[in-house]
Structure 1
Amino acid sequence: MTARKGLLERLREGPVIGDGGFVFQLEKRGYVKAGPWTPEASVTHTDAVRSLHRDFLRAGSDVMQAFTFYATEDKLVNRGNKAGETIGVDKINRASSKLAREVAAEGDALTLGGISQCPSYLSGMSKDDVKAEYRKQIKVFVEEEMDFLLCEYFEHIEEMEWAIETCKETDKVVAASMCIGPEGDMHGVSAAECAVRMARAGADVVGVNCHFDPFVSLEALKKMKEGLEAAGLKPFLMCQPLAYHTPDAGKQGFIDLPEFPFGLEARICTRWDMHKYAREAYELGVRYIGGCCGFEPYHIRAVAEELAKERGRFPPGSDMHDAWGKGLEMHTKPWVRARANREYWEKLMPASGRPYCSSMSCPDNWGVTQGDSVLKQQATSTSSEEIAKLKAMQDQKKA
């Protein structure tokens, strides 16, 4: 039997397509609690997680990422979330890894174990303590034979470096993506410098994920690519953005938008937006192309269809779709049949259906994410007069 190709070999040959956003999808389906966003569903609702993996595999995903987002011990017991105590971080991460392996074996997909930022860093714990939190997860991924590791959803390059260093204690390929936009990380480090520091820390693949839409994310990646080229570094590039339009988001992205997290549907990208995203990402040189929050299987299918020529195949899910709406030729209405072509959908400017809805929102610009004690101190020191002034400015922007 021919050995399966690893991540780096596949990236050298062409684009690798990631999967989409598990926490948002499973929250909508009733299996994840908004707020903690933790993955205990891998234990409590195994079939729901397995089913979503299969949907992404059918849509064209080349990687089954274990559902381990925020599954550090300090996060699972944070703010009254008792999942870490009642189930345990080890059990959750092992169950998630096994599900990813199971579904990956149904196709030719790779498996991935991911770690993300943890509360220990924001609370000011030492480098050794933070790295200890990551080792608990990474140990499971190594024992469960995940194909590679991913450090994702980091807002601070320092913590990202610590995470990469911990992953490099193994012999696994390491990818790294930060939840930042073109302005860089939360401490003012530029996107270009973040990319350089990720690569120098040992990441084989670097890029961005979450917090911003596909096109804002690609702007950040352009800066990262320029920085890497200037430094003479050549890691592969990856992009796994939101499926929500965020042209009006501030430095922290969509979490500052008033629609976060329950009113974002009006911002959802169409499948045709994803065709454009996939093409622009590929032409920029991005070779790991996937999605994060808001991405559904049909979004990934659009990415796979746009890059079908480069990949040498269409995804299984295209059997019931036909690229660019070709199946509409069988519709009973002639005006709908006339839409069975690429030109129509590429030129479409979708309407929201909300007559009094503004095109953009006023973000809640809270600033750098910090511990609760710091935020309380800031809130206490802010006078009622200043609060009134800020509210007036916000109302004026909305008007």
Structure 2
Amino acid sequence: MTSEKRKGLLERLAEGPVIGDGSMCMTLEKRGYCTAGPWTPEATVLYPDAVRQLLREYLRAGADVLQTPCFYSSDGKLEYSDVKFTSAEINAMACKLAREVADEGDAIVCGGLSPVVSYIQGKGEKAVRKEFEAQLQVFIDYDVDFVLAEFFGHVEEIEICIDVMKRAKKPMGATMRIGPIGDMNGVSVEECAVRMAKAGADMIGINCLFDINTCLKVLRRMKKALDDADLHPYLMCQPLGWLCPEVEENFCGYLALPETPLGLDPRTITRMDAHRFAREAYEIGVRYIGGCCGIESHHIRAFSQELSKERNKQPAVNDLCPKLGAQLCQSLLPNIREKVKDKFWMDLTPASGRPFSPAISAPEKSATFMTK
């Protein structure tokens, strides 16, 4: 199937929920293909086979969209991180890999734009636009299906990015890394949602930094603000794959946890959590559900399976891993066979297995982003 014959983003959203892919840099780091700290995606050039395989896992788990694996690939950020490749080189390979794997199924490709250092450094709008234009041009050249501005902490910056993205003449998404306290300048959740919509994004929402429960709180507020303003973009969310309720009132979100970045594993959400989140998000009105840091392929599968009726399809590979406990009846162990019902798993409160592990941590007061 060629990409030209596929339905585009807006067509798919009009028909029902769309499932995005999951974590790239964080997951690649666990597999040995990304450096913790800078989180830059030079693996697309150095280890394309590893990146290709992760994209393929998301596709087979049910993702309708594969995002170009080039997070934070702006020239300013790459220079700051001492990466020896340009954003054009990384983004070009990211486009090739995403398209190659998308063509193995019925997926479309999203080109992702990230915040730029020139904004934080206060170099002015002209410099900021130049960095965004450099990111965008590769996505235009490789004809991605839609573009997305993600991980923005300042609504002012994402408004500039949305305006630049209009050059691509493609559907546009916009997501901010905000929790209940709003953006890093104190702009409320409600105002951020309205401003992103008024700037021209077809799809708006949040990604990263906060967990599924915090994201649901923010999404409810966004939906009400948009309805009150008579604005109707599609809502999207790409939450974390860890639980971190103690950082709701912190601009840095999970980055303020002492466990970040190497000790977050005990906080990983279960697939049951993923099922609940997908259902609650859909009921709020969210129509694009994907994942950010910590969301792995089994979480994407859970999103897809939970909304299979609304989507009128199951994950591409679903024979060996049906929803929750459906095939546990084949186990040789009687106690495992008894867990075949969904209700057992959805009612389960999992233990951590760590006798002296605290329920939550104290966020680190030193955590902060670079500011203007």
Tell me if TM exceeds 0.5: yes
User: Counterpart in 2 of 1:392?
Assistant: none
2:42 equivalent to 1:40: yes
In structure 1, how many angstroms separate the alpha carbons of the residues matched to 2:341 and 2:309?
18
Q: CA RMSD of the aligned region, Å?
A: 1.3
| 1:108 shift after superposition | 0.7
In structure 1, how many angstroms separate the alpha carbons of the residues matched to 2:321 and 2:367?
43
Q: Which piece of structure 1 moves more, 244-253 or 279-288?
A: 244-253
In structure 1, how many angstroms separate the alpha carbons of the residues matched to 2:60 and 2:167?
34
Of the three residues 182, 190, 193, the one matched with 2:180 is 182
In structure 2, how many angstroms separate the alpha carbons of the residues matched to 1:324 and 1:28?
25
Contact in 2 for aligned 1:72/1:137 (Cα 8 Å):
yes
User: Counterpart in 2 of 1:203?
Assistant: 201
| 1:366 shift after superposition | 4.2
User: Counterpart in 2 of 1:193?
Assistant: 191
Contact in 2 for aligned 1:301/1:317 (Cα 8 Å):
no
Q: Which piece of structure 1 moves more, 143-152 or 211-220?
A: 211-220
User: Counterpart in 2 of 1:330?
Assistant: 330
Deviations 1:288-333 (A, max 9, x none): 0010000110110011010111111111232111212111101111
In structure 1, runs of 5+ residues without a counterpart are: 375-399
In structure 2, how many angstroms separate the alpha carbons of the residues matched to 1:355 and 1:29?
28
In structure 2, how many angstroms separate the alpha carbons of the residues matched to 1:170 and 1:347?
46
Give the partner amino acid of 1:283: E
Which protein has the larger Cα radius of gyration, Structure 1 or Structure 2?
A: 1
| 1:192 shift after superposition | 0.8
| Equivalent residues in 2 for 1:224-243, closer than 5 Å | 224-243=222-241
User: Counterpart in 2 of 1:113?
Assistant: 111
User: Counterpart in 1 of 2:302?
Assistant: 302
Contact in 1 for aligned 2:66/2:108 (Cα 8 Å):
yes
In structure 2, how many angstroms separate the alpha carbons of the residues matched to 1:269 and 1:197?
31
SS of the equivalent of 2:71 reads coil
User: Counterpart in 2 of 1:370?
Assistant: 370
Deviations 1:239-261 (A, max 9, x none): 00001001111322101111111
Q: Which piece of structure 1 moves more, 219-228 or 247-256?
A: 247-256
TM-score norm. by structure 2 comes to 0.97
SS of the equivalent of 2:246 reads coil
| 1:369 shift after superposition | 2.6
SS of the equivalent of 1:364 reads coil
Contact in 2 for aligned 1:60/1:304 (Cα 8 Å):
yes
Contact in 1 for aligned 2:61/2:298 (Cα 8 Å):
yes
2:312 equivalent to 1:278: no
User: Counterpart in 2 of 1:165?
Assistant: 163
In structure 2, how many angstroms separate the alpha carbons of the residues matched to 1:365 and 1:206?
30
User: Counterpart in 2 of 1:54?
Assistant: 56
TM-score norm. by structure 1 comes to 0.90
In structure 2, how many angstroms separate the alpha carbons of the residues matched to 1:271 and 1:220?
22
| 1:77 shift after superposition | 1.1
User: Counterpart in 1 of 2:71?
Assistant: 69
In structure 2, how many angstroms separate the alpha carbons of the residues matched to 1:26 and 1:3?
31
In structure 2, how many angstroms separate the alpha carbons of the residues matched to 1:112 and 1:365?
36
How many residues of Structure 1 are paired with residues of Structure 2 in the alignment?
368
2:105 equivalent to 1:103: no
| 1:368 shift after superposition | 5.7
In structure 2, how many angstroms separate the alpha carbons of the residues matched to 1:74 and 1:32?
19
In structure 1, how many angstroms separate the alpha carbons of the residues matched to 2:230 and 2:123?
34
Identity of aligned residues (%): 49
In structure 2, how many angstroms separate the alpha carbons of the residues matched to 1:110 and 1:184?
31
Give the partner amino acid of 1:307: L
Deviations 1:191-242 (A, max 9, x none): 1110000011110000000001112111111111111111110000000000
SS of the equivalent of 1:151 reads strand
SS of the equivalent of 1:37 reads coil
In structure 2, how many angstroms separate the alpha carbons of the residues matched to 1:65 and 1:16?
13
| Equivalent residues in 2 for 1:377-396, closer than 5 Å | none
In structure 1, how many angstroms separate the alpha carbons of the residues matched to 2:144 and 2:128?
22
| Equivalent residues in 2 for 1:86-97, closer than 5 Å | 86-97=84-95
| 1:172 shift after superposition | 1.1
Q: Once superposed, which parts of structure 1, at least 4 consecutive aligned residues long, lie more than 3 Å away?
A: 365-368
Contact in 2 for aligned 1:256/1:365 (Cα 8 Å):
yes
Larger % of helix: which?
Answer: 1
| 1:169 shift after superposition | 2.3
Contact in 2 for aligned 1:39/1:69 (Cα 8 Å):
yes
Give the partner amino acid of 1:223: R
2:346 equivalent to 1:339: no
Contact in 1 for aligned 2:246/2:363 (Cα 8 Å):
yes
Deviations 1:150-192 (A, max 9, x none): 0000011111111111101221111000011122111111111
Contact in 2 for aligned 1:196/1:228 (Cα 8 Å):
yes
| 1:69 shift after superposition | 0.3
User: Counterpart in 2 of 1:391?
Assistant: none
Give the partner amino acid of 2:258: P
Deviations 1:86-118 (A, max 9, x none): 322211110000110111111110101001112
In structure 2, runs of 5+ residues without a counterpart are: none
Contact in 1 for aligned 2:216/2:281 (Cα 8 Å):
yes
In structure 2, how many angstroms separate the alpha carbons of the residues matched to 1:366 and 1:238?
31
2:236 equivalent to 1:219: no
Contact in 2 for aligned 1:237/1:285 (Cα 8 Å):
yes
Contact in 1 for aligned 2:256/2:367 (Cα 8 Å):
no
In structure 2, how many angstroms separate the alpha carbons of the residues matched to 1:262 and 1:302?
25
Contact in 2 for aligned 1:25/1:296 (Cα 8 Å):
yes
SS of the equivalent of 1:232 reads coil
